[in-house]
A and B are shown apart, each in its own frame.
Chain A
């Protein structure tokens, strides 16, 4: 008796709490499309649109002074800085395994630009250029340098237009000494990137420029020579510029990556998936429609087949739906399109428990039991079957969670939550409703 009151109270509290937790489930927007209130359910990339990138750290080109673990931690940090500067709401950047990095950028409007910013190593180097030697016999027909012909201590690098330069291998200064980089306009109104060194970088820069007056200093970004101005005099103050026929956007992005710092090791994009906003909206709308129609059909079928008892099962079904949404919101779980399919499936499966119980009650009634006894026997005999039957699905859901990627994980989560919740709603809640009446003469089942 006391247990029943407790459970009734618990159910009522859960219903109120769930409504409070889950409302509003999706973003509320006004007529102009502006956000009024943010939805409580976290939508996956496939539903809200966005980009998913997988990067691989090029461990073959790892510098000798840094381990893979250190390098990947540093890469992660720099990518975070760059993406923060890009201004994406709620990005996700995390390691996967030894050398993979997963980046999720929800709602991103310009994926190409994001790729450029994320994928760029942004290694800024300063080396001395040598234009006194002829390079024609150092290159083969394809434009690759012939190692034997290039003088020791020198290397050949390409410029932005594909032209070749001979530079000294020795790197005089790198972007590691940068403290700031920003876009400025040169005398002709063209965007350039102005940078500033830290004090030590400034000292080195002054010394290098002082020693090499009238020679050309190559400014190299990711092994491409951007410019090679002639040093007129020693440059103090630790400031300089990079020019290279940039568009304003390019210059801004370059300043951004220079500020965030160079990656200690190059990264390669190994998979990329972009979902446009239209498809996401379409998916949500279609998912919701199919879920609603499906649930209404099941509700009608249950009432049609089991009458009042079917109605009781329907109440359990609706509570299951409410609790499931609340659980997703409370756990900050991500709802994906397969996740919506998972919810819809759980709706179908959650009435299974009630079907099992009702069929059992019918059997017991046929066997000559009183209504009260038949209900109790139906519940107790069906219990172990219901648990066994659900555990098998839980096993597959657990496996999917373990091995699945984003959307599939979302599916596994909704399936698991849905099944666990359905045990409560289909067993406890319906029993409470049946027990609300003490004496039955007939049962509508």
Chain B
């Protein structure tokens, strides 16, 4: 029997919970910072949420960033930004253009026309383009918020029904913690906030909850079996008992997500990165955040047993 995590391991998670407390506050703050910046319109938003045009292009030969920037100068375009996509042997760029004066469906065409004219000795191919008008982006923003809201409500109700009120609040707090942490880290890393990121966030919510539920399930079972033991002790033992499973599952999922991150291509790159961060944060939170929240609640307001 190969054992990665010894079964009789007794890490005093509850005693060192201040450590998690400090880290979690920091993580939550980055998430709040991201939210505030999004609210102020200072975050980098995807075209799906902000409206505008994005064009992904590939050149046959290498083009410097400066040459591209110069080629894109046009009185029609406002707020042009460009980002090269790293892929050995290929010259790909992602362009973002805001051109309110032009008819929406023409912007991406116009961009390519200008590039063909200003960089004539190179072949430019449009890999993909997206033009999003203000009504659609407003709709998508609203849909994304609704999705996050209903996912949270659904989860809260389900855990409440299956466990009890305290555990359900703890699970929801842990989930929100994870979402904020991933959002914050993605924001600090300079990633675009778009629909795919929200999808990743919701998946992370479901996934990290999965971990939390396993721990809670064990707490519930142990509370029934060991009626005389102290609450904190039971929670701590439960976390330790499920630690092996938590780590192994996370590791296996991490394996596939790492493959997705390195081999999945640019479309899915950010999604994979968010998942990667999410799995690590989710594993941490199911060990440190959810159970400690329950313990802290019990210290201040012991549950009659």
Contacts and interface: CB of A to CB of B under 8 A. Distances in A.
Contacts of A411: 199
B265 A393 contact: no
Interface in B115-142: 125-133, 135-136, 140
B238 to A, nearest CB: 12
A408 B143 CA distance: 12
Given A349-B210, A362-B1, A269 B136 contact: no
Contacts, number: 224
Interface stretch (B14-22, B68-76, B250-258, B297-305): B250-258
B213 A389 contact: yes
A79 B272 CA distance: 38
- Residue in B103, B105, B209 with the greatest tally of chain A CB atoms within 10 Å: B105
Contact of B130 (A56, A272, A384): A272
B248 A338 contact: no
Interface string A393-433: 11111111011110110010001000000000000000000
B210 A352 contact: yes
Contact of B195 (A385, A392, A408): A408
B109 interface: yes
B231 interface: no
Nearest to B126: A276
Contacts of A398: 154
Interface string B13-31: 0000000000000000000
B142 to A, nearest CB: 9
A341 B260 contact: yes
B206 A392 contact: yes
B146 A403 contact: yes
A362 B5 CA distance: 12
A146 interface: no
Interface residues of A, number: 75
Contact of A359 (B127, B245, B260, B265): B245
Interface string B216-256: 01100000000000000000000001101100110111111
B176 interface: no
A342 to B, nearest CB: 8
Contacts of A283: 265, 267-268
B264 interface: yes
Contacts of B214: 356, 385, 389
B40 to A, nearest CB: 25
Contacts of A389: 209-211, 213-214
Given A270-B136, A392-B213, A399-B202, A301 B251 contact: yes
Contacts of B128: 273-276, 279
Of the four ranges (under 10, 10 to 19, 20 to 34, 35 or more), the interface on chain B belongs to 35 or more
Interface stretch (A123-131, A250-258, A287-295): A287-295
A298 B250 CA distance: 11
A192 interface: no
B189 interface: no
A390 B214 CA distance: 10
Given A119-B105, A286-B265, A344 B260 contact: yes
Interface in A36-65: 46, 54, 56
Given A272-B104, A359-B248, A400-B199, A295 B210 contact: no
Contacts of A359: 242, 244-245, 248
Interface in B40-74: 56, 58
A118 to B, nearest CB: 10
Interface string A52-91: 0010100000000000000000000000000000000000
B288 to A, nearest CB: 19
Contacts of A355: 245, 248-249, 252
A79 to B, nearest CB: 15
Contacts of A306: 2
Given A290-B264, A355-B248, A388 B202 contact: no
Contact of A338 (B199, B244, B256): B199
Contacts of B267: 46, 279, 283, 337
Nearest to B147: A403
A269 B104 contact: yes
Nearest to A398: B154
B184 interface: no
Interface of A: 46, 54, 56, 112, 115, 119, 269-276, 278-279, 282-283, 286-287, 289-291, 293-295, 297-298, 301-302, 304-307, 337-338, 340-341, 344-345, 347-349, 351-352, 355-356, 359, 362-363, 366, 384-385, 388-400, 402-405, 407-408, 411, 415, 445
Given A341-B271, A400-B151, 18 more contacts: A271-B130, A274-B126, A279-B128, A341-B260, A341-B264, A345-B275, A348-B257, A352-B249, A352-B252, A363-B241, A385-B213, A393-B203, A395-B158, A399-B154, A404-B195, A407-B196, A408-B195, A415-B203
